[in-house]
Amino acid sequence: MLAEVSKNVFLYASQNKLFNKGAKKWGLKLGASQVVAGVTIESAIKKVRELNQKGIVCTLDHLGEFISSKEEATEAAAYNIKTLKAIAASGVNSNLSVKMTQLGLDIDLDFCLNNMRRILDVAKETNNFVRIDMEDYAHCQMTLDILRELRKTYDNVGTVIQSYLFRAEQDVKDLRGIPLRLVKGAYKESSEVAYQEKEKIDENYMNIIKEHLLSGSYTAIASHDHKIIAKVKEFAKQHNIPSNQFEFQMLYGFRKEMQLSLVQEGYKMRVYVPFGDDWFGYFMRRLAERPQNVTFALKGFFSK
């Protein structure tokens, strides 16, 4: 009961614009530096290089939420382009992840699409891949519509499917052949559209992983759950799925030993590396996901 209450508090805070504005002034406090790789491209590239040296590949995400003007969205698109160019110039091994609301989805759909096209043009020039992050349920269908439109022209773009949504399995079937990151989901959704019980979310998670792998599609399994990871390994062996058809993904700052262990076993391990001063919403969702994350963050805060 207490865990559910704390989860709701953190999820509420993650969507509070006033809190988010204040957090930009605080800097990476409250333990956020444990899970956010600094506020600048330079700090993020440095962290990516350190991970690369350990055999880990990455995806960079310039954090940004609550975009309410075309000017802000245009700046966000430009910063993502700058990030792609920094990746190329530095020679680090990293993709890019972006959120559609950061690029103006809530303002104008065509405007958002044009921003994405600008980003994907640079990604193609620099031989890189861009992942469209999935946000809350209200933006799910719009995000998939954008993906389908972009895939008519670009093959270097994919998205994320969240297993707690009832629609997840059908979405995975419909997106056969497209590189997908499969996750459990980190937003608070109603029982009308999403499973609420961990057991059902986990069950559906394995279902969509198996579905995408068996279709021959490239699959990114984003999980810190050692039981899920063990099941995926066993399933791949049973069905002769080559290791170059999938990768494991984890968040920056979490399960570092497991990340290295997977690399040593020969699996591709990608770490999602968020950075930027708009870190508050992301950090709150991480605290909401698991009670252990609160302890983890506080240890980081008090160890400074």
Which residues are part of the catalytic machinery? 133, 181
On whether the CB atoms of residues 161 and 176 are closer than 8 A, the answer is no
Widest distance between CA atoms in the chain: 52
**How far is the C-alpha of 100 from the C-alpha of 113, rounded, in Å?**
9
Strand partners, 249: 222, 270
CA proximity to 24, closest of 295, 303, 277: 277
On whether the CB atoms of residues 109 and 136 are closer than 8 A, the answer is no
CA proximity to 289, closest of 2, 10, 1: 10
Strand partners, 273: 60
Which amino acid, residue 124? K
On whether the CB atoms of residues 60 and 275 are closer than 8 A, the answer is yes
The alpha carbon dihedral of 187, 182, 235, 195 has a sign of: positive
The alpha carbon dihedral of 61, 64, 70, 72 has a sign of: negative
